[in-house]
Amino acid sequence: MKRRSLAISLDESAETPVFLQIARALTVAIRSGRLGPGDPLPSSRALAGQLGVHRNTVLAAYDELRAEGWIEALAARRTQVAASLPIEAARPGAARGRRAARAGGLGFDLPEHDGPAPEEAPPPGAMILSGGVPDLRLVPRTALARAYRRALLRRGDDPLAYGDPRGDAGLRREVAAMLSAERGLAVGADDLLITRGSQMAIALCAQALLRPGDAVAVEAMGYRPAWDALARRAELLPVPIDDEGIDVDALAALVERRPIRAVYLTPHHQFPTTALLSAARRIRLLALARARRFAVIEDDYDNEIHYSGRPVLPLASADRDGLVIYVGTLSKILAPGLRVGFLSGPAPVIARATALRERLDRQGDHAVEAALAELLEDGEIGRHARRMRRVYQGRREALCEALAARLGGALSFRLPAGGMAIWARADPTIDVDAWARRAAARGVVVATARRFAFDGQPRPCLRLGFAAWTEEELWVAIGRLAAALDGRGSPRRRSG
Ligand SMILES: Cc1ncc(COP(=O)(O)O)c(C=O)c1O
C-alpha pair distances (Å), 239 with each of 53, 111, 170, 254: 75, 30, 39, 8
Q: Ligand 1 center to residue 273 CA distance, Å? A: 14
**pLDDT single digits (tens) 35-79:** 889 999 999 999 999 999 999 999 999 999 998 899 998 888 889
At 112, is the pLDDT very low, low, confident or very high (cuts 50, 70, 90)?
low
pLDDT at 102: 62
Class in CATH terms, 18-102: mainly alpha
58 CA → ligand 1 middle, Å: 58
Specify the CATH class of 139-382 in words. alpha beta
* pLDDT tens-digit map of 363-395: 999 999 999 999 999 999 999 999 999 999 999
C-alpha of residue 151 to centroid of ligand 1, in Å: 26
How far does the centroid of ligand 1 lie from the alpha carbon of residue 292, in Å?
28
The total of other beta-carbon atoms located within 10 Å of residue 139's CB is: 16
For the CA of 330, the nearest atom of ligand 1: 9
Q: Are 295 and 348 in contact (CB under 8 A)?
A: no
| Nearest partner of 317 among 178, 141, 441, 448, judged by Cα | 178
Average pLDDT, the chain: 91
Range in 65-74, 169-178, 287-296 the model is least confident about: 65-74
Cis peptide upstream of residue 272 (ω within 30 degrees of 0): yes
Average pLDDT over residues 159-163: 96
pLDDT at 489: 44
Q: Is the CB of 301 within 6 Å of ligand 1?
A: yes
pTM metric for this prediction:
0.82
Indicate the pLDDT class of residue 297, thresholds 50, 70 and 90: very high
Superfamily assignment of 127-136+386-486 in CATH? Answer: Aspartate Aminotransferase, domain 1 (3.90.1150.10)
Compute, in angstroms, the gap from residue 195 CA to the centroid of ligand 1. 13
Query: Does residue 92 carry a pLDDT above 60?
Result: no
Contact between residue 463 and residue 447 where contact means Cβ atoms under 8 Å apart? yes
Residue 110 has pLDDT above 90, yes or no: no
Whether residue 184 contacts residue 317, with contact meaning beta carbons closer than 8 Å, is answered with yes
- Alpha-carbon dihedral angle through residues 281, 282, 284, 285, given to the nearest 10 degrees: 110
Considering only 28-42, 109-123, 221-235, 365-379, which range has the smallest mean pLDDT?
109-123
Residue 486 has pLDDT above 70, yes or no: yes
Determine which of 4-18, 130-144, 241-255, 435-449 has the lowest per-residue pLDDT on average.
4-18
Best residue among 332, 340, 452 to mutate for probing ligand 1's pocket (most ligand atoms within 8 Å of CB) is 332
Domain boundaries, the chain: 18-102, 127-136+386-486, 139-382
CB 383 within 8 A of CB 183: no
First vs last C-alpha separation in the chain? 49
For residue 13, what pLDDT is reported? 83
Pocket test for ligand 1, best of 193, 196, 223, 451 (most atoms within 8 A of CB): 223
Give me the percent of the chain exceeding a pLDDT of 70: 91
